[in-house]
Structure 1
Amino acid sequence: MSGPGRIEAGAIEAGAVGELALDPFGFHRGLASRIGGLGGNVPGHDPIYAFHTPYVAAARGPARFRIRFQGLSARRGVLVLRIHMLPDEPSAAARLVNSARIQLNRLVQNGGEAEIGFEGFRGFTFAVMGQVPDDTDARAACLEVTLDRPADPAELADMAPEDIDGTRFGSDALRPVAHLLSAEPPSLAAPVSQPCTARQMREPVWAEWCRALRLEASPDPARWPTVYTLQTLRVYAMLEPGARGLLLGGDRALAAALRARGHDIAEALAADAGAADADYLCGMAGLRDGGAIGDMITSVKASLGRLRPGGLAIHLLPLEVEPGIDGAFRRADLERLALTLISRRHEVARFKTGRAVALGGTGVAPFGLMVRRARSPL
């Protein structure tokens, strides 16, 4: 797919062996840069614009953009680097993958060189941009930008689509958003990706589900994963009779409630290999059994392969409340996992945070991560 500001892999000459040299100003040709001496002569619409490369395909796995200023001088100002990814789909919107800040006078001391990394996936192209939001006296003679691991054109051509029917359940209530994080407090009535908080266990919907499960309506974070999961399935139209669900890690109350609603429920201990035939899955293994964070991340990624395209995954993960707990996610860990899933075309519900309530004596709180599998082939 080609278009404004996008080039195909191999469309420009390589720099060093294995590297792809990019036009630092290829996305906005002719525009003047915030860094004196660079770019064109036309004043731009963005007063903090420094540079913006075209979008290019990267090899799978870790990759880096390298930025090299020649003849850089600066006493003040900050350079903000941002990597955006763009799906290979019509009218797709770019999303932020990674960002970094560096004082321009420190960049001068580093010889004018900086790097910023990301993870490459097929079906996406990537660009790096620079901004200088503060007052600056920076000037440079030249700017070079390279990508260390461009995609192999042969790999791009070998992308056979999957022949899997999408789920007929679900709603469009879960939509892609420009920003992953929300400043709003989490609500059980309108669940997204969120931790258990005391406020949610005072909502009317908490008492409603407790009655349906024949449980006391008193606040108990041990019940929150089951109630959150059922409420999420209801809000996103997955509770209709006939839906097929996969439960990972075991939750007898949840399984009974879903079967009572006419669902075909399969249970497994982990996201092992299998056909992509579930409309939704609920993963409790990470919260109940713990383990290494890397193993839990691998399980979350693998589980999406068990879903039909457009299917919904709800994973309950241990969130660190007290510092130093082994096998507990920090918020930054969850955000990195979410960005990885987004870069693979899956949709992750917006994150809402609050004062999480820990499970008794554990130092961790349940965190619900909500993901919808990509509707189109990966």
Structure 2
Amino acid sequence: MVSAEAAAWALRLFVGREPTDPAEVEFHRGHPDLQSLRQSFAATVEFQDFLQRSVLPPPTYAMPAFLLRHPENPAIPVVFEEPTLARPVSQLCTASQFDEPEFRTWCSALDLTPDKHRKVWEFCYVAAVMWAAGVLEPGNRALGFGCGTEPVPALLARLGLDVLATDAPQGIVAGQAGDPAHQHTGGLFNLEKPTILDRATFLERVTFRPVDMNAIPADLGGFDVCWSSGASGHLGSIQHGLDFFENSLAALKPGGLAVHTTEFNLQSNDDTHEDTAVSLFRKRDIEALLGRLADAGHEVWPLNLHPGTTPMDEFIDLPPYSLPHLKLRAARHVLTSIGLVVRKRAEQV
């Protein structure tokens, strides 16, 4: 066993922090010698990020060949071109979309600073899809999942829609990945955005209900559109996220629209990250979902996995994250946001 002093210094030098407690030091003393200790700590995410930031040239993204492969299921429509918010489909977050007038328009409508950040893109993408699909009509009913403190409910209400915003019951969200960012609402008023909509109209058109996305209540139904922004990757597993997307269609009327954004693994179609906090969806996961929905008679919007061609599309953000923040490395994988759109079949089979 290595000494307690060596284990503590390994944490300081390689990870950049003090030991959390004596038990952590004792755990790392289990290495048989110093070489084993060094090799283990040199492979940590913290040390690799330090190397990339301080010593090595910054990593750049190069598109892997698997993104070019057509889905095995021919029922999934595919395009491969620079994605655009002017004509959205199911697509990745890319740099050119931030330069479109549509991005600035939706940022203004949502009262968002037009930062080159994938989360800002997700909100604008959701709105752009709803606009393109023609569902932003007064009197339509909209259902939001995992809304946190996002501005989409207020915008939809301003446009005349009746909105039910939901988030996980407090007992479920505590300790999950979304909670540390303080995005969980806990109630209606954290969704209020006075710069978008006055309080009286907001209270008239927006209601709130705690809903577990892993167990959507059967009484939720008849909505014209449902959406979620980055929530389905935090449901405990890849399968939970895929099940949520499919189950969300039950809340829609025939012909209703579902638009969801989530994390997408740009690096591998095999190896990925999946745990109770966050799961990174692979191309094969997305295609399995869309193929199943297409086979069931739903209208699957074309899938566009073009990752962009500008220098910004090659940039990989590393911890501590900053801007631009389109592609990032987390849990040893390169990821970005993807938006998926499905229109529920017009008639029940």
User: Under TM normalisation by the shorter chain, which class is it?
Assistant: 0.5 to 0.7
Unpaired runs of at least 5, structure 2: 1-70, 168-212, 309-325
Matched, 1:217 2:114: yes
Structure 2 partner of 1:348 = 300
Instruction: From 235, 240, 244, give the equivalent of 1:299.
Output: 244
Counterpart of 2:273 in structure 1: which amino acid?
Answer: I
The structure, 1 or 2, with the larger RCO (C-alpha pairs under 8 Å, 6+ apart) is 2
1:259–1:265 Cα contact (<8 Å) kept: yes
Structure 1 partner of 2:231 = 286
Equivalents in 1 of 2:225, 2:111: separation in Å?
24
Equivalents in 2 of 1:272, 1:285: separation in Å?
20
Unpaired runs of at least 5, structure 1: 1-95, 100-177
Q: 1:8-53 CA distances to partner (integer Å, 9 max, x unpaired)?
A: xxxxxxxxxxxxxxxxxxxxxxxxxxxxxxxxxxxxxxxxxxxxxx
Q: 1:103-140 CA distances to partner (integer Å, 9 max, x unpaired)?
A: xxxxxxxxxxxxxxxxxxxxxxxxxxxxxxxxxxxxxx
Counterpart of 2:247 in structure 1: which amino acid?
Answer: A
Instruction: From 311, 321, 340, give the equivalent of 1:369.
Output: 340
Equivalents in 2 of 1:97, 1:377: separation in Å?
26
Q: How many residue pairs end up in the alignment?
A: 205
- Alpha-carbon distance change, 255 to 359 in structure 1, aligned in 2, over 3 angstroms: farther
Q: 1:204-262 CA distances to partner (integer Å, 9 max, x unpaired)?
A: 11111112222222322111111001111111111111110000011531111111111
Matched, 1:189 2:86: yes
Equivalents in 2 of 1:349, 1:250: separation in Å?
23
Matched, 1:207 2:107: no
Equivalents in 2 of 1:268, 1:214: separation in Å?
21
- Alpha-carbon distance change, 287 to 295 in structure 1, aligned in 2, over 3 angstroms: closer
1:222–1:359 Cα contact (<8 Å) kept: no
Name the structure with the higher helix share. Answer: 2
TM alignment of 1:221-370, pairs within 5 A: 221-251=118-148, 252-269=150-167, 270=213, 271-284=216-229, 286-287=231-232, 289-323=234-268, 324-326=272-274, 327-355=279-307, 357-358=326-327, 363-370=334-341
TM-score by length of structure 1 reads: 0.51
Q: 1:337-357 CA distances to partner (integer Å, 9 max, x unpaired)?
A: 101001111111001122273
Counterpart of 1:201 in structure 2: which amino acid?
Answer: F
Q: CA deviation at 1:273?
A: 2.2
TM alignment of 1:47-126, pairs within 5 A: 98=73
**Over alpha carbons, which structure has the higher Rg?**
1
Equivalents in 2 of 1:359, 1:276: separation in Å?
37
Structure 2 partner of 1:111 = none
Equivalents in 1 of 2:259, 2:285: separation in Å?
17
Equivalents in 1 of 2:232, 2:336: separation in Å?
9
Name the structure with the higher strand share. Answer: 1
Counterpart of 2:262 in structure 1: which amino acid?
Answer: L
Counterpart of 2:290 in structure 1: which amino acid?
Answer: A
